[in-house]
Structure 1
Amino acid sequence: MAADLYGEMQLESAPPARRHWQAYFPGILVTAIAALAAGWLADHYAVPIVLMGLLIGLALSFLSQDRRTHAGLDLMSQTALRIGIVFIGARITAQQLADLGPLPFALLALIMIAVILITVTSAKLFGQSRDAGLLAGGATAICGASAALALYSLIGDRRVDQARFTLTLVGITVASALAMTLYPVLAAEFGLSDAQAGFLIGASIHDVAQAIGGGFSYSPAAGEVATIVKLTRVTLLAPMLMLVALWLGRSGESEGTARIPLRLPWFILGFLAVAAINSLVAVPKPIDDAAATAASTLLLLAIVATAMKARLHLLVDQGWRSFAPIIVATLTSFLLSLAAALCL
């Protein structure tokens, strides 16, 4: 349940088993109720609805221990998010990409490489293996749990056991949830512009839902920039994995056998197609408003469901050194992204 939207699509060896629609109902129902509660609180207390959705979802994370909610929570956290990303494309134009320029994307690639190298190098300082550092650094730098899944398929379970892998998934999920809550506040304290805040959030938060949600909790403009930056990180998953595979293969350390296909997932292609249409055609305002409402609704549902799936209880019995690579990677990603945002 910790995996996010790109890794599962890229790495699954067989399509998931078909379920009857009734299997989705419990998870969808609790997600919808939590989202409505978030909407009520946001409306009455003037707080960001996405932030309320995250906090309520975390508070209800115990519900994910009931297997009856799994199918619905998976549907809301993955499929709803993917469709929502496509609708966000209606808020993006080619002019926005041109306004950003090439510098943010060059800085983004440098940040990703630096996060991986620093995490791998520092792992031994905390009594952790280099492979554990690679797993944590790669998952943080690229796109969260999906990158962890892909990297684990390359590293192999003889060098990083299942317990360490599970711990990494839990750690990056919790770190991403906390970052979504904290980073927009820090961006406001630093007085960042919408573009700077969007870059900081999109470049440093691990998982897609939290990165986009954090951006929109700062401002709509920051959310659009965060979406572009975050989806750029997602598209870099395959090339980054190729470099890691070559590195591991050259050093004779690769034990995984999974093949990582070099293709873009459908939701990014859909996002680009909708953004292209929005750039070339004058979309009627009712359609534009409907797309914005659909994107906001689906994003809220996805964030609530993702927060519900966070296994916070697994952190209680673990020593802090077990999470040191994740902490190092998260702090490095934030500091480098902040420095880059200030340069924009």
Structure 2
Amino acid sequence: MRDFWRTHGAGLLLTAALAAACTALARLPALQQAGIGVLTVAMVAGMVLGNTVFARVAAQTGAGVDFARTRLLRLGVVFYGWRITFAQIVQVGWAGLLLDVLMMAATFALAWQMGRRLGVDEDTTILIGTGASVCGAAAVMGAEPVVKADAHKTAVAVATVVVFGTVAMFAYPLAYAFLGMDEYAYGLYVGATVHEVAQVVVAGQAVGETAAAVAVIEKMLRVLLLAPFLLLLGAWLARRRPHTHGGGQKWVLPWFVLGFAAVAGINSLGVLPQTWVDYLVEADLFVLAMAMSALGLRTQAAAVRQAGAKPLLLAAVLALFLAAGGYVLNTAVLVLFA
């Protein structure tokens, strides 16, 4: 343990300090009203420092930063399960579950096809598709160790979530008057198609409390689907990339995905007081902020620029599909379950 802290301590302290500063910054009213969460702030701050002063201390802090970017990221994904319970499926009903599954499958399939047509590299395509189809930055971070992608590709995918999720957050309430939906239907629509939890909250509350409550529950159900999605993604990549992902019978279930499902299951049982769960959620957000700041520190702006406009174009296509296709599917599902 002493050797671990000697080699990793400085880097972990650096990412913890960044996470603490970003947590305080994200609580500013202006950022909260804009729906910009601590993970986004941590990524941006990490990238700024990573492309300016980090090189001077990289030799002393690199090991700890990489530990935060990999191991702490996986731990953060595990404890993300404290945000959800299986009872949320009952609250939104089978209509909400079906809508989420259909949107997730259709969005990722579209991402895969459009990414190939646009010439976006495979890792970036998968990460952008995961972020759009499941639950934003948290899904990108969960997929990163499954895909085994480079840091700059993860950063590009997170950036698309921020850009187009923010656009949706403001556009959906403006379009509400023309959509012909009640607050329940609008809440399902927002929860099934907007990228980030914070963005879902803002888009829902702009219409009403009922819309906000339904939207958040629907969004949490999407988060719950992250575990089976990552399992399927890992199995698919094992067949597609046998030399880098084990292949065939050698493929092993990612421990952090199983951990995520286990934590969600424990949370569903209600064995811990809600106050404890709230503390665990806050602690997990801090761990994820450390991981995001570490990811930013290791992301070089030149590598992001090299990715070009194609990833943004792919993300734009997916955002349009989420808005238009999500509306059509939402209407169809509600008619089916009427």
Does the TM-score normalized on the shorter chain lie above 0.5?
A: yes
Instruction: State whether structure 2 residue 95 is matched by structure 1 residue 110.
Output: no
**Separation in 2 of the partners of 1:173 and 1:218?**
21
**Separation in 1 of the partners of 2:126 and 2:28?**
41
Rate the CA distance shift 1:149–1:287 in 2: closer, same or farther, 3 A.
closer
The amino acid that maps onto 1:68 is: Q
Q: Is the 8 A contact 2:46 2:293 kept in 1?
A: yes
**Separation in 2 of the partners of 1:284 and 1:230?**
25
Question: Which among 135, 158, 165 is matched to residue 176 of structure 1?
Answer: 158
* Map of 2:117 onto structure 1: 121
Q: Which of the two has greater helix per residue?
A: 2
Rate the CA distance shift 1:56–1:197 in 2: closer, same or farther, 3 A.
farther
Instruction: State whether structure 2 residue 256 is matched by structure 1 residue 267.
Output: yes
Instruction: State whether structure 2 residue 280 is matched by structure 1 residue 291.
Output: yes
**Separation in 1 of the partners of 2:144 and 2:263?**
29
Instruction: State whether structure 2 residue 172 is matched by structure 1 residue 190.
Output: yes
Instruction: State whether structure 2 residue 93 is matched by structure 1 residue 97.
Output: no
Q: Is the 8 A contact 1:196 1:341 kept in 2?
A: yes
* Map of 1:27 onto structure 2: 11
Q: Is the 8 A contact 2:165 2:199 kept in 1?
A: no
TM-score norm. by structure 2 comes to 0.67
SS, match of residue 283 in structure 1 = coil
Alignment of 1:206-245 (within 5 A): 214-216=196-198, 218-219=200-201, 221=216, 224-225=220-221, 227-241=223-237, 244=240
Rate the CA distance shift 1:257–1:276 in 2: closer, same or farther, 3 A.
closer
Q: Note the C-alpha offset of 1:274.
A: 1.8
The amino acid that maps onto 1:183 is: G
Q: Compare 179-188 and 111-120 and name the one that shifted more.
A: 179-188
**Considering only aligned residues, what root-mean-square deviation do their CA atoms show, in Å?**
3.6
Structure 1 unaligned segments of length 5 or more: list them.
1-17, 124-131, 153-164, 203-213, 246-253
Q: Is the 8 A contact 2:12 2:65 kept in 1?
A: yes
Q: Note the C-alpha offset of 1:231.
A: 4.2
Q: Is the 8 A contact 2:18 2:42 kept in 1?
A: yes
The count of residues paired between Structure 1 and Structure 2 equals 281
* Map of 2:128 onto structure 1: 140
**Separation in 2 of the partners of 1:287 and 1:229?**
24
Q: Deviations over 1:290-337 (max 9, x none)?
A: 222222221222222222222113345x4xxx6354344322333223
Q: Deviations over 1:87-115 (max 9, x none)?
A: 22222111223423123113312222222
Alignment of 1:30-49 (within 5 A): 30-48=14-32, 49=37
Rate the CA distance shift 1:22–1:337 in 2: closer, same or farther, 3 A.
farther
Instruction: State whether structure 2 residue 319 is matched by structure 1 residue 334.
Output: yes
SS, match of residue 308 in structure 2 = helix
Q: Note the C-alpha offset of 1:20.
A: 3.0
The amino acid that maps onto 1:94 is: F
**Separation in 1 of the partners of 2:25 and 2:258?**
35
Between the aligned residues of both structures, percent identity stands at 23
Instruction: State whether structure 2 residue 303 is matched by structure 1 residue 314.
Output: yes
Q: Is the 8 A contact 1:140 1:330 kept in 2?
A: yes
**Separation in 1 of the partners of 2:244 and 2:73?**
29
**Separation in 2 of the partners of 1:54 and 1:149?**
17
The amino acid that maps onto 2:129 is: A
**Separation in 1 of the partners of 2:18 and 2:43?**
10
**Separation in 1 of the partners of 2:8 and 2:64?**
4
**Separation in 2 of the partners of 1:257 and 1:269?**
21
SS, match of residue 310 in structure 1 = coil
Structure 2 unaligned segments of length 5 or more: list them.
131-138, 177-185, 202-212, 331-338
The amino acid that maps onto 2:155 is: T
Q: Note the C-alpha offset of 1:240.
A: 3.2
Q: Is the 8 A contact 1:93 1:276 kept in 2?
A: yes
